Amino acid sequence: MVIDAVEEKKEIISRYRRLLRKAKPTLKGNDAKLIKRAFTIAMEAHKDMRRKSGEPYIFHPLSVAEICVEEIGLGTTSIIAALLHDVVEDTDIQLIDLERIFGKKIAKIIDGLTKIRGVFEYGTSAQAENFRKMLFTLSEDVRVILIKLADRLHNMRTLDSMPRNKQLRVSSETIYLYAPLAHRLGLNAIKTELEDLYLRFTDYPVFREIADKIDETRASRNKFIKQFVQPIKEELDKLNVEYEIKSRPKSIFSIYSKMRKQNIPFDEVYDLFAVRIIVDTPLEHEKSYCWQVYSIVTDYYTPNPDRLRDWISTPKGNGYESLHTTVMAKNGQWVEVQIRTRRMDEIAEKGYAAHWKYKDTVSSHESNLEKWLVKVRELLEKQDLTALEFVDDFRGNLFNEEVFVFTPRGELKTLPNGATALDFAFEIHTDIGAKCIGAKVNQKLVPINHVLKNGDQIEILTSSKQKANEDWLRFVISPKAKSKIKELLKEDKKNVVEEGKEILLRKLKQLKIETTSQMYEQMRAFFNVNSQFELHYRIGKGTITVNDLKRFKEFKPSSPLKTRPHESVDVKTIEQEINKVKGRYEDILLIGEDMDVVEYKLAKCCTPIPGDDVFGFVTVNEGIKIHRTTCPNATELLANHGNRVIKAKWTSQHEVAFLTGLKVIGTDRVGLINDVSKVISEELKVNMSSLAFKTDHGIFSGEIMLYVNDTRHLEMLINKLEKVEGVVKVTRFDSRSNNT
């Protein structure tokens, strides 16, 4: 590639000036000089670096800073931190140098954005460790996470130039942690784009198909919306208030999620778009104007009483305020209408950063987000969680479908949707949770696992004889209740664990087994326990015996990868090993950078077949396992253990049959099952492993496990089956077990 240095320099300066123009309204005093200094340092530090796309590296920090200003609404401190966010990690500049020039606050933010260096212990997750480090700074300064989201958004926008396994890892990490985090901080526009980009890079054919269908329906949709809003506009004009009516299709990812969740095609997704009415009104009149608009909409169109959502009276945990209703249009189509004010709309799109603009005028609107940050700080103070446990608990704090309930004195409490009486007890106080034996919900006696509904009023019943037990963890869902129960159980377990630890060390010495972190990782996998704590507990309890330990000594992991103690499994190591075993196995899957043939197992959770988009995952004890990129476990594996992921691709097929499942739904008639099995076994000569059908009031549904050669073979079979009289739908399904 020929590089025109003069043109490149012009483009860099042009982008820098564009950033300054966008930041201008927020700049004060010395700000422009400080930004120029940060830009100069970043330019010099990254001068010889290029991105995978071939562009100068400085384009990236400039773009991240621009997203911070334009799409999140941040100011000078964040611009400087964004421009310098990679210099400590990727160049010789030290954090102390930046602290001397820009002060402690900016240095702290940059430190939060800098990945931890060095090799991680075998079995830990570098991704989880770095995420936890970043969040430690979040508890002091929210801007760390906002800049990180801007950084992630730009990386996702430019992911095209990355190799396939990196695309899968970054996309999965994004949907697993960053999109929910953007949602939790109220950054709706960024959340939506991250989700759509995730789908684009993990399942492009589906992404393209939905995008094309949205385009195809645009003209008819616009015509419909014009007719729908006409009478509403006429009435709003009489209100004598500034307003704007927008309509936009639902995001590609939300349409995809609905199709998958309800197992329906695109044509059956009825709420493809939403109409948004935004009114400009003084703060004190916001509520009354929104309800007036609601009244106008429902005068013309009949509302669905089950679909009214009032997030103006009780805002969501991320500060989101809006009035949602779903109404029936004149042509029998359901339409979602969102009603909000200009302030509410800005907060809905730009989230946390937009709150500061209104903080002095509306203190209550900050409270839910502040409460959430308090919870994050509490979680961060708990030092005994592994990074993976921490990420798991943190994710529990992110998903904010909520239920609003009341104490006996009428105090409002917000809990995650699906929370039980026991969750509520722990929300009040740890001691009340620990002694909870039941509750009165709306004056009726209920057990501790009773699921709460919006508006419930709860009184907790306690007993001094009650003690926390393992069963409680099965039905509480709030991170606070889970962590407190784990703490209570750990207290009881600690003595047993200490004893178990002594026994294990003694026995390992006798059996001449070296105590390394890799050995512990293999032992945890062998005994199927999640942590060293649990391993010691089981030994202390006697459920893992000396004979079991002898069996472990005789057990040899089937992984072809012999890693040394304290060495992290990374892609390069794996690919070197693959080169050594080149040509040893006759099979049809190519793995690794050089696309070699190597031993593997097919994951039972998603039963991949030739033609599927797949990746390899290096397990601790079972060698390489092959998963579909759409596997139910893929996101978590890629997000937490990206360093164990390797490329895998099917090559030209031999006549090998692979087991897969089909779900068939239709209207029942005599001879239907016979016709279905004829198509499978006689016409297409496909072997079946099992066939299970049931009928209910004239509707039949069945599951067939059968052997096919590849995805083309499977598609041909599905097309044939759909032509059988009475068959309405045929879909592939996964076995959905959790074997990874």
Which residues are identified as catalytic? 89-90
CA distances from 519 to 284, 386, 555 (A): 65, 18, 12
CA distances from 581 to 177, 386, 598, 603, 648 (A): 36, 35, 7, 21, 16
Handedness of CA 12, 17, 22, 24 (dihedral sign): positive
Amino acid at 349: E
Count of Cβ atoms closer than 10 Å to residue 638 Cβ: 29
**Which residue(s) pair with 702 in the sheet?**
664, 693
589 contacts 650 by C-beta, under 8 angstroms: yes
Handedness of CA 420, 422, 427, 428 (dihedral sign): positive
Question: Distance between CA atoms of 255 and 264, rounded to whole angstroms?
Answer: 10
Question: Distance between CA atoms of 587 and 584, rounded to whole angstroms?
Answer: 10
For 141-175, the DSSP string reads: -THHHHHHHHHHHHHHHTGGGS-HHHHHHHHHHII
Rg (C-alpha) for the chain, rounded Å, is: 29
Write the burial class of residue 675 (CB in 10 Å: 0-12 exposed, 13-18 middle, 19+ buried). Answer: middle
Question: Distance between CA atoms of 698 and 170, rounded to whole angstroms?
Answer: 47
Question: Distance between CA atoms of 606 and 612, rounded to whole angstroms?
Answer: 10
Pairing between β-strand 601-602 and β-strand 624-628 as defined by DSSP bridges: parallel
Place of tokens 């990690």: 89
Local structure of 104: helix, strand or coil: helix
253 contacts 305 by C-beta, under 8 angstroms: no
Which helix (H) or strand (E) covers residue 690, if one does?
Answer: strand 688-696
Question: Distance between CA atoms of 596 and 586, rounded to whole angstroms?
Answer: 11
Question: Distance between CA atoms of 398 and 416, rounded to whole angstroms?
Answer: 10
Long-range CB contacts for residues 411-419, cutoff 8 Å, separation at least 24: 412/314, 414/317, 414/368, 414/371, 415/452, 415/478, 416/477, 416/478, 418/451, 418/477, 419/451, 419/452, 419/476, 419/477, 419/478
Provide the residue count of the chain: 740
Q: Cα-flanking dihedrals φ and ψ of residue 67, to 5°?
A: -60, -40
Question: Distance between CA atoms of 140 and 149, rounded to whole angstroms?
Answer: 17
For 264-285, the DSSP string reads: --GGG----EEEEEEE---GGG
Q: Could you tell me the two tokens for 62?
A: 């400039």
